[in-house]
Each structure stands twice: as structure tokens, then as C-alpha cells.
């Protein structure tokens, strides 16, 4: 039996591969939908920035993982990091939404009828904030399987973004508290 030598480089941590996968998907989507470029870049910045700050803040607090959240943290953040099934659903939902946006560029895929075609309205309009640059609303035709999949993924994506924002705010507060501790007044 021959001995297999260890790899020259250790495998990257899952945190890195997750961020790279999301960034890659969002860059593909931004290329296919040029009006979404700013939004996609903002989502990448939010994802990477919130996780990096969370990791840095947790290191300063001597925590073993960026997933160790305090009881005083935002509810959504506690739920996100204490319930692995919920966190997994949110992460998968976000990636599925990005993959659905990518797949929607192929008319053959859009032509596949979904199982709920008769049960849903023909079109659903999702109101959008003006800052996204996509217009006032996003209209989704509900007859295709891809659109139905995207509609199922949308709430999970939204919760993941809310968790990222909560993580960003909590981490910034922790870093400020660390850098500028409250001074006792005499």
C-alpha cells in the first residue's frame, strides 16, 4: 500500500468558498441583467462585509465561531445562527433565487410550465425600493416552474439579507464598544 502525501495547501474554510460561490453567481446575474449591476455588487459587499466584520468582532470577544451570538442580539440573527435548518433554508433560498435569475435568460427553461400554474395569479408584482434601480416593481409571470421556484425562494433570500444587515449592525456596535469602551466617571 502506498502512502498518499498530504496536500500542499489545506482546503479553504467553508466561509471562503461560500462567499466566492455567492459572489460568482451575483456577478453572472449582474452581467445578464445590467440594470441589476449596482444591486448585485451591493449584495456582494453586504455578504462579505457583514461576515468579515462578524468574524472580526467575535475574535475580539474571544468567541470560537462567528456563529456564536449573544442572547441580546437581534431575534433574526439568533434564529439564523441557532437553527441550522433555518439557516440552511435561507442560504439555499438565496442561491436558488440567483440561479433562477440566471436560468431565466433561457426562454426554453422559462417555457416549462410549473405545477401551480392554475392555482397562482398569472402575474405577481413585487414592489421594489427605488434605490435598487430596477424600477418601481418587479413583475413575475407565475406560469413557469422557474418563476414558481423563484417565488418560493424569495422570502428565504429576504430573511438572509435581513440577517446580513443585522449581523453588520451588531458587529459594528461590538467593534465600537471594543474600540471606545465606556469610561467610568469620577
Task: State the catalytic residues.
Answer: 18
- The DSSP result for 35-85, as a single string, is GGHHHHHHHHHHHHHHHHHHHHHHHHTT-S-TT---TTS-HHHHHHHH-HH
Grid cell locating 181: 469602551
Grid cell locating 94: 438565496
Cα(20)–Cα(23) distance, integer angstroms:
5
Q: Strand 137-141 to strand 123-127: parallel, antiparallel, or no bridges (unpaired)?
A: antiparallel
Amino acid at each position: 500500500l502506498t502512502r498518499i502525501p498530504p496536500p500542499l495547501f489545506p482546503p479553504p474554510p467553508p466561509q471562503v468558498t461560500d462567499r466566492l460561490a455567492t459572489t460568482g453567481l451575483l456577478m453572472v446575474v449582474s452581467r445578464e441583467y445590467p440594470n441589476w449591476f449596482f444591486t448585485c455588487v451591493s449584495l456582494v459587499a453586504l455578504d462579505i462585509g457583514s461576515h468579515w466584520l462578524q468574524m472580526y468582532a467575535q475574535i475580539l470577544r474571544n468567541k470560537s465561531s462567528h456563529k456564536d451570538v449573544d442572547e441580546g442580539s437581534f431575534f433574526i440573527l439568533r434564529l439564523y445562527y441557532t437553527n441550522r435548518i433555518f439557516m440552511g433554508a435561507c442560504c439555499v433560498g438565496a442561491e436558488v433565487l440567483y440561479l433562477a435569475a440566471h436560468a431565466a435568460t433561457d426562454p426554453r427553461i422559462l417555457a416549462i410550465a410549473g405545477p401551480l400554474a392554475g392555482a397562482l395569479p398569472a402575474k405577481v408584482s413585487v414592489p421594489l425600493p427605488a434605490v435598487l434601480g430596477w424600477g418601481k416593481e418587479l413583475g413575475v409571470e407565475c406560469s413557469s416552474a422557474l418563476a414558481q421556484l423563484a417565488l418560493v425562494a424569495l422570502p428565504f433570500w429576504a430573511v438572509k439579507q435581513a440577517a446580513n444587515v443585522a449581523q453588520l449592525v451588531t458587529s459594528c456596535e461590538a467593534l465600537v464598544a471594543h474600540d471606545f469602551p465606556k469610561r467610568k466617571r469620577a
